[in-house]
Amino acid sequence: MAHAQGDEPIVVGLDPDPGRRAALGWAADEADRRRLPLLLVLAQNLPTPGYRPTGGRPSWEEWNESLHTTGDRMLKEAVAFVESRHPRVRVSGLLAEGHPAWVLREQARNATVVVVGSWRLSAVQEVFTSAAVALPLIAHAPCPVVVVPEPEHVPEAEHVPEAERVSERQQHFVVGVDGSRHSAAAVDFAFDEAAVHGSALRALYVWQPPRLGNPDEEAAVQECRRLLSETVAGRTADHPEVELRQEVVPGHPVQVLTEASEHALGLVVGTRGHGGFTGLLLGSVSQGVTQHARCPVITVPSA
């Protein structure tokens, strides 16, 4: 699907369950704010062995026809959902065959951001479902990836009106900073996102004190503050409307950022991309906050 330069779409992966539309809603809202087209992608895998929807093993022709009919209907329903929510958004749908992570990775080449959903499951289930899409996508996508938790990921969402939840969050984003070029790219995106939303930005440098203690702890904290200040330097001039708060917080990055996400509009972190894929699987900050944060997580690859 071709788009004019600077008009790359927001791509959202549709969940086969029509009841899970948190990611779709987030993507539609973002497309409306940024005046960008929205591409809905429904990726369908091959049938599993023993698939018998009608009591007997169907032919490939019968299965494909049934699959495409169902997929087309789901896409039309999702497009209608977006059009009713934001009539001005240019929305289109794509039905593709293949693993969702691979399909979305291909679409990410010409996307502004890719958006997927996540929901709370057991540790084993998480590996083979939402994480099986989000983690490879985060590792390989050339654009930012947004993982939006479903309501069961955020307990208060079922009982508190949206307007009250937004007020609670005090309209701010959180960005994790560690002084690397990866976090610098995340800071750039975080400032842009805060400006688009008209919100404040909380920049966190998480300092991990050594287990045996540090004889010059104050000097170590001052160095962290220096790195944080250098990373955000110059961004406030480009986005004077964004209120910036800088903090150095001791603790483990995943735990601190997860706690900071509870009342945030979004959490932005950098990722090393393809080179860090093994680290992602072994429990990096990107993977940890993606699975535990209480708000949408935006992972940004370095330029």
Last residue of a domain, one of 135, 153, 171: 153
The whole-number average pLDDT for the span 11-23 is: 90
In a domain, 288, yes or no: yes
Look at 30-44, 129-143, 158-172 and tell me which has the smallest mean pLDDT.
158-172
pLDDT score at 220: 83
pLDDT digits over 205-214, tens only?
A: 998 877 666 6
Of 223, 228, 238, the closest CA to residue 188 belongs to 238
pLDDT score at 128: 38
pLDDT score at 5: 45
Please say if the pLDDT value at position 125 is more than 60.
no
Average pLDDT of the chain to the nearest whole number: 80
Whether residues 250 and 142 fall in one domain: no
Residue 166 burial class via C-beta count within 10 angstroms: exposed 0-12, middle 13-18, buried 19 and up: middle
Whether residues 206 and 93 fall in one domain: no
Q: Which long-range contacts (CB under 8 A, 24 or more apart) does 79-83 make?
A: 79/40, 81/21, 81/24, 81/28, 82/24, 82/28, 82/38, 82/40
Asked if 200 and 172 count as a contact pair (C-beta separation under 8 A), the reply is yes
- Which residue is listed with tokens 């977006």? 82
Query: What is the CATH classification number for the domain harbouring 287?
Result: 3.40.50.12370
If you ran DSSP here, which 8-state letter would residue 48 be given?
Answer: P
pLDDT digits over 74-121, tens only?
A: 999 999 999 999 999 999 999 998 889 999 999 999 999 999 998 543
pLDDT score at 33: 96
Q: Which two tokens stand for residue 81?
A: 């959902």
Higher per-residue pLDDT: 97 or 173: 173
> Structure pTM?
0.82
Whether residues 210 and 96 fall in one domain: no
Whether residues 95 and 170 fall in one domain: no
Please say if the pLDDT value at position 161 is more than 80.
no
At CA 285, angle to CA 280 and CA 286, rounded to 5?
60
Last residue of a domain, one of 153, 176, 197: 153
Whether residues 102 and 188 fall in one domain: no
Give residue 36's domain range. 10-153
Whether residues 138 and 186 fall in one domain: no
Distance separating alpha carbons of residues 291 and 123, to the nearest angstrom: 10
